[in-house]
Amino acid sequence: MTTQMFAMIVQRGKRVFPHFFVAVLIALLLLLIVNDRNWRPLQGKADWQAASNYSQAGAHFAIDRDIETWWSSYLAMTFGMWVQVDVGKIVTMNGVALHVTERNKGAQPRAWTVKVSPDGKEWQPARARDAITSGKTLLIPFDAARARFVQVIQTAVSVTPSPWCINELDVMQ
């Protein structure tokens, strides 16, 4: 009797399994698409513009797609320093990733705020989430926002005389 029941379950499973598998796969793909924690770098960096209120001339090194170059404030991190990126068009963004190399590992900000803007004039604070630090990357996630500009502003004074450095900045979507 047990063998017959097992055979019946297996036969029913053969008919149900493909449908179940497809349904689970679709559900997982939908979760992946709508999950706002599914960060991936925004493409098209060649068209971006970077600016800063410290060391403006070198701001482009933060987005030049070369981890061996970097933007530096050249002065110790202080309250009010900012770096901003114009991605060229309004997009949905949900985070900023600041990358450094081993040489600049101590040059990540300790506290910050992020603002977004559709035009570079009217700024709104991004609704921040807990930052994620992984090795030499600082991911600053925030609630998804439609914007063209994103600005990271230092909100603390560094305890060391280290300047703020960014080897590469990615806007996440």
Which is higher by pLDDT, 12 or 137? 137
pLDDT at position 30 is 38
pLDDT at position 55 is 87
pLDDT at position 135 is 82
Q: b/e for 1-12, b at 16 or more Cβ within 10 A?
A: eeeeeeeeeeee
Q: What percent of the chain has pLDDT over 70?
A: 78
| Token pair listed for 19 | 């449908």
Tell me which residue of 59, 61, 65, 62 sits closest to 46, measured CA to CA. Answer: 65
pLDDT tens-digit map of 110-161 = 899 999 999 999 999 999 889 998 889 999 999 999 999 999 999 988 777 8
pLDDT tier, 15 (very low <50, low <70, confident <90, very high otherwise) = low
Tell me which residue of 78, 71, 77, 79 sits closest to 52, measured CA to CA. Answer: 71
